[in-house]
Amino acid sequence: MWARIRPWVIGDSFKRSLHCSWSILTIKFHRPADAGRRKQAAILLETAMKLRRHHSTRPTAGISTFPRLPSTLRHSLAVVAGSALLAVTPLALAWQDELAQIQQRWETTTTSTPSSQREAALSGLVTEVEQLIQANPNVSDLLVWDGIIQASLAREKGGLGALDNAKAARRALERAIGLDSTGMDGSAYVTLGALYDRAPGWPVAFGDDDKAAEMFQRALSIRPDGIDVNYYYAAYLADEGRDAEAREYAQKAMQGTPRSGREASDRALQQQAQALINDL
């Protein structure tokens, strides 16, 4: 009697090779190659998937008549497929290191760079983050940071010269929220709230007190103890003449814990919260 043998599927060593290739993909970033290399990768992957689908439907009894590929050939196919993928795939998470560096430089620029140098530094950061967005157009965190940096640049410029950056910030933040409703743990809503609060109203720009309050409330629902949202909401309430509420939220900002990587900017906001309390 013939022994029952599992029908041939992509071998374990081949699967391990592919798994290794995909592991490499998650930690290295390569720019997309030309159309020819993209086509090569697509053909290799399509062939592998067809082989797998074909043999997964074969009977479970009897000996498979499909020849098993030699291990060296399976390994070579895995390496070629992995190499082609490395060349053509802009990988998820590959942007994180670059964004972390941009964030650190924004932190330094907004808290310790001389005011005469801030505008140029922020303009450079806008260029860098937008290059990342071009390569990774559907990453919410990149769009949130584009909005944050654009808003910082608008504040630095001031006056009518800031309107283009304020509008660009709003567009980026709204796109980010469309991709991730939490808006990077509420940060998108905080920045939108500050923009609606500080920008001139129609017909000059899009300033809107009601929209500002709505954005701050959304941010508070996501991160109620955040230093940034509590301070900016307190500043909004003070402008509205609601001093008791402004004091309450400013005190919450004072009691908050600075975020990792945002320690300097969060402490600066706490100093502003204390100054606001002193003025009320």
What's the alpha-carbon Rg for the chain, to the nearest Å?
27
Q: Give the whole-angstrom CA distance, residue 88 versus residue 24.
A: 13
- Residues 139-194 have pLDDT tens digits of 999 999 999 999 999 999 999 899 999 999 999 999 999 999 999 999 999 999 99
Asked if pLDDT for residue 18 goes beyond 80, the answer is no
Q: Give the whole-angstrom CA distance, residue 129 versus residue 161.
A: 21
Average pLDDT over residues 109-117: 97
Six-digit token pair at 275? 């100054």
Q: Which CATH number goes with the domain that contains 262?
A: 1.25.40.10
On whether both 168 and 104 belong to a single domain, the answer is yes
**Looking at the whole model, is its pTM more than 0.95?**
no
On whether both 164 and 238 belong to a single domain, the answer is yes
Q: Give the whole-angstrom CA distance, residue 279 versus residue 208.
A: 24
4 in a structural domain:
no
On whether both 159 and 32 belong to a single domain, the answer is no
Residues in Cβ contact with 198 at an 8 Å cutoff, skipping those fewer than 6 apart: 155, 207
63 in a structural domain:
yes
5 in a structural domain:
no
Instruction: Give residue 56's pLDDT.
Output: 46
Which of 67-71, 134-138, 177-181, 267-271 bottoms out in mean pLDDT, i.e. has the lowest?
A: 67-71
Instruction: Give residue 257's pLDDT.
Output: 97
On whether both 251 and 267 belong to a single domain, the answer is yes
Choose the final residue of a domain: 27, 56, 88. Answer: 88
244 in a structural domain:
yes
Instruction: Give residue 70's pLDDT.
Output: 57
Count structural domains, the chain. 2
**CA neighbor of 148 nearest in space, from 190, 198, 181, 114:** 190
Choose the final residue of a domain: 88, 104, 121. Answer: 88
240 in a structural domain:
yes
Choose the final residue of a domain: 37, 68, 88. Answer: 88
Q: Which long-range contacts (CB under 8 A, 24 or more apart) does 205-214 make?
A: 205/163, 205/166, 205/167, 206/166, 206/167, 206/170, 209/236, 209/240, 212/236
- Residues 211-256 have pLDDT tens digits of 999 999 999 999 999 999 999 999 999 999 999 999 999 999 999 9
The fraction of the chain above a pLDDT of 90, given in percent, is: 65
Q: Which residue range(s) make up the domain with 41?
A: 12-88
On whether both 176 and 72 belong to a single domain, the answer is no
On whether both 53 and 126 belong to a single domain, the answer is no
How high does pLDDT run on average in the chain?
80
49 in a structural domain:
yes
Instruction: Give residue 79's pLDDT.
Output: 54
